[in-house]
Amino acid sequence: MDLEILHDRDAIWYNLLSFKYGEVHKFFCAEYIVTNRTNSVWWRDLVKIGIGSGALIGLLNGVVRKKLGNGHNTSFWHDKWIGVIPLKNVYPRLFSVSVDKDSSVAESGRLDLDGDRWIWHWCWRRQLFNWEEALADELKDTLDGVGPTKEGNDKRVWKLNTIEGFSVSSCYQYIISILSDHPIDLILKKALLKVWKTDVPTKAQVMAWRLLQGRLAT
């Protein structure tokens, strides 16, 4: 099992979340995720886990990678689909002069006449300087032999277990390992554990948990 909800556009939950919050397949691209006070507390917290930085905030970015399929649901510049960081950060100058900053991988090239080799093609806002041309050539060399496949959708892959895919158990163990590197106050930790064992409505538990974390909406 992989993270189907982020790329299976026929799934009921995908359509439900997309209707309410936007295109969820862009969940790991901070530039695409916009939240506001009308969104549920659950969704705003979930987005913070998907993006950002810190002990727990943004943790999913480190354990999820993009597996390229047909390239239609993978952003060429924004997604981490080749290497460990987005191409916009590897080649910021080229990104700044690109006409199609939000283009997908599939929109950034085409198959050759024989249909067996992918040819990359980018549009620039102006003619490139010589040193920028060198960067573009370097980018082409980096992507030589890489390209979308003719069949299959793009997918998010759980790096902690690429064979069996995502599981709550592996995610829990990963979070515990992070917390061990970022210890929290023992009294606070005990309080957080007791919150979920109290015999009160779930909404009250969530409010208490957010209060202890200093994240109660004001």
Can you give the pLDDT at residue 4? 58
The span from the CA of 145 to the CA of 100, in Å, is 22
pLDDT higher than 60, residue 132: yes
The span from the CA of 127 to the CA of 13, in Å, is 45
pLDDT in tens, 170-192: 877 777 777 666 666 667 767 77
Beta bridge partners of 111: 118
Average pLDDT over residues 83-102: 91
Angle at 202 between CA 201 and CA 205, to 5 degrees: 95
pLDDT in tens, 202-211: 888 878 877 8
Name the residue ranges covered by the structural domains of the chain: 1-68+154-183, 76-150, 185-218
Can you give the pLDDT at residue 93? 95
